[in-house]
Structure 1
Amino acid sequence: MKMKSTLKVGLISFLLIPLLLAGQQSPSSISHSFFIAGPQFTGIIGEAGEVVWDSKKPSARDGYVLKNGNILICWADEVREYNKKGEVILNYKRSEEDMEFGTAVRLSNGNTMITESGTHPRIVEINKKGEEVKSIPLQPETDNVHMQTRMARKLKNGNYLVPHLLAFAVKEYQPDGTIINTFKTDFAEFGGRKAETWPFTAIRMKNGNTLVTLTHGNRVVELDAKGEIIWQIDNSIFEGDPLVDPCGAQRLPNGNTVIASYGAQKGIKLFEVDKNKNIVWIYKDHRAHHFQILTTNGKPLKGAPLK
């Protein structure tokens, strides 16, 4: 019988740890504050578990606290930026009823990058006035609007990294829409397409590798420049099956990885693993589609929030 590595301290051990504050538990005394874009709550949770800020509009898909303290949030029908007073200073709405926005990211030049799924799927960049300044056509290989794409990111070389769920592919696009690289995620060792290892979030890291969450496949993988798996986690190594439709992910400066189990109706909603696949922190309250860790034990995370 195969033994799971559990939560390394063990699920039972985790349950014996006193609740830190409103849903956070950690054998290493880790406490985070973080932004959540989720189905019931979209806002900021403090390290003490308190609601620091509430957008009053649930069901967000993506969002970030920006360097200037403003908050950028993406819903399926619109993208908003709030200033520190809670005022909406940027509002970009979909132009067609059947269109869906998937993500919104503030770029280094001040523009905002948004993914639009629909009849003509694309990435659009808008300026501070909400005016379109760039459009990049996408090739999701499906007419299913909801399943065309999710968490796209712009790379330092000016290209775009885009996960396409039903294409089982993370594609790198040039600004003219040309695809120059594709990482397939229907890995034979996981069972091929029957395993539904749809790519959801794809993050190009400083070491050149790419971190990808594979939603229905309940896996997270790190791929090298050739698309080969060099690190991965799945529920076979844990007790309690914490990976439930993993969507959002974030690689922290210390090398740990935080993952959102979007499909978890009960139990763990966010959890953090170290390089050795030990679970070192969990959060059990609000479900998260995407998130952003902001502080750890009172200290702001090093580096730009959008990395």
Structure 2
Amino acid sequence: MKPQLVLVTSLLCFTANMVVAQDVTHSFLACGQKTYIMGADGEASWTYPSATRDGYVLDDGTIILTLNKSKRHRGGAVVRIAPDGKETLIWKGTQSEVNSAHPTADGTFVITEAGDNPRLLEISSTGKVILEFPLACQKKNHHMQTRMARKLADGTYLAPHLFDFAVFHYSPEGEVLGKLDTTVPGDSDHEIHTWPFTAIRHGEGQTLVCCTHGNRVIDFDSDGNVVWTLTNEDLPGKWLQDPCGAQLLPNGNLVITSYAGGRADVNAPKLFEVTRDKEVVWTYSDGQKVGIHNFQILTTNGEEIAGPVLK
């Protein structure tokens, strides 16, 4: 079972015409400059002593973390933390960075490496390479190559490529099957080249994308048409400041992390939940200038999240 940890937050639900008091509860894993599980008392009930880029809590309580590059792991790494606290190295990065590690239904992990030869790999639980192919992204800026790569139910892969301004869809052989262009339309002199960071496939082939540069979240239909957009104009304040990660909840609501939301105001939300109608129903602040890179909501109102983790 997942850790039964709940943070109770009393807040206001903002709509265009009214303000309604509302209580919502969540517990969550936070990955970023600080790595922790937020507990019921508002304090971290579990912490990890390294910065992280991605993370998952599995059904049995095992935690999978993608570690930032450091003196310990020059090219980043992926580690497993067992419920008893034992740590196991799954993958040691071989290039500049490891940027994601997606646990699949088959017990494998999909990871990406940034560097001179950016690549996607699917590895076994012991780190054996099952599949790999080069990523068709730019090579000049390693850090801005890719982020949250995910394996889809049909065995294909989504990989957001920041400086290519598009989410790429790959076959298992590495063939580019399609792209979702995240450039905001307009005159050529006024186009906004937004950087895709997280891409979530959901519903009937829809893809929800967090774009850090441009501060917006976009939902594409199966034909690549934009059907929903969230910007700061839709929110009570400029809460979208480098929105890196997101999670789509079973009730259709979306939780978003605003990595740089505290630079102007340390009390600005680092996580917030919105409905499809763009009503804010929950917020979390940590008092830091920057912080949560990615996350996983573990429980809502004391109940575990049902179904696959869409983040």
Into which bin does the TM-score normalised by the smaller protein fall? 0.7 to 0.9
Q: How does 1:174-189 map to 2 (within 5 A)?
A: 174-189=171-186
Q: How does 1:28-177 map to 2 (within 5 A)?
A: 28-39=22-33, 41-57=34-50, 59-76=51-68, 77-96=76-95, 99-177=96-174
Give the root-mean-square deviation of aligned CA atoms.
2.2
Between stretches 86-95 and 284-293, larger displacement belongs to 86-95
How many residues align? The count is 286
1:160 Cα offset (Å): 0.5
Cα deviation, 1:160-182, whole Å, max 9, x if unaligned, reads: 00100111111100011100111
Q: How does 1:215-294 map to 2 (within 5 A)?
A: 215-265=212-262, 266=266, 267-285=268-286, 287-294=291-298
Letter of the 1:45 counterpart = M
Residue 3 of structure 1 aligns with which residue? none
Residue 19 of structure 1 aligns with which residue? none
Return the alpha-carbon distance in structure 1 between the equivalents of residues 13 and 228 of structure 2.
17
From the superposition, tell whether residues 192 and 299 of structure 1 become closer, same or farther in structure 2 (CA, over 3 Å).
Answer: farther
Whether the 8 Å contact between 1:43 and 1:55 is mirrored in structure 2 is yes
Whether the 8 Å contact between 1:147 and 1:164 is mirrored in structure 2 is yes
Q: If the length of structure 1 is used for normalisation, what is the TM-score?
A: 0.87
Gaps of 5+ in 2: 1-11, 69-75
Letter of the 1:33 counterpart = S
Return the alpha-carbon distance in structure 2 between the equivalents of residues 103 and 272 of structure 1.
23
| Identity in percent | 42
The answer to which structure has the higher strand fraction is 2
Q: If the length of structure 2 is used for normalisation, what is the TM-score?
A: 0.86
Return the alpha-carbon distance in structure 1 between the equivalents of residues 221 and 187 of structure 2.
18
- Which consecutive aligned stretches of 4+ in structure 1 deviate over 2 angstroms post-superposition? 6-10, 189-196, 304-307
Whether the 8 Å contact between 2:232 and 2:240 is mirrored in structure 1 is yes
From the superposition, tell whether residues 194 and 187 of structure 1 become closer, same or farther in structure 2 (CA, over 3 Å).
Answer: closer
Residue 14 of structure 2 aligns with which residue? 8
Gaps of 5+ in 1: 1-5, 15-26
Return the alpha-carbon distance in structure 1 between the equivalents of residues 101 and 58 of structure 2.
12
Residue 22 of structure 1 aligns with which residue? none
Whether the 8 Å contact between 1:65 and 1:305 is mirrored in structure 2 is no
Letter of the 1:170 counterpart = V
Residue 5 of structure 2 aligns with which residue? none
From the superposition, tell whether residues 64 and 199 of structure 1 become closer, same or farther in structure 2 (CA, over 3 Å).
Answer: same
From the superposition, tell whether residues 74 and 256 of structure 1 become closer, same or farther in structure 2 (CA, over 3 Å).
Answer: same
Letter of the 2:237 counterpart = G
1:13 Cα offset (Å): 5.6
Equivalent position to 1:197, from 194, 197, 213 = 194
3-state DSSP of counterpart to 2:183: coil
From the superposition, tell whether residues 298 and 192 of structure 1 become closer, same or farther in structure 2 (CA, over 3 Å).
Answer: farther
Matched, 1:296 2:300: yes
Q: How does 1:200-215 map to 2 (within 5 A)?
A: 200-215=197-212
Letter of the 2:249 counterpart = L
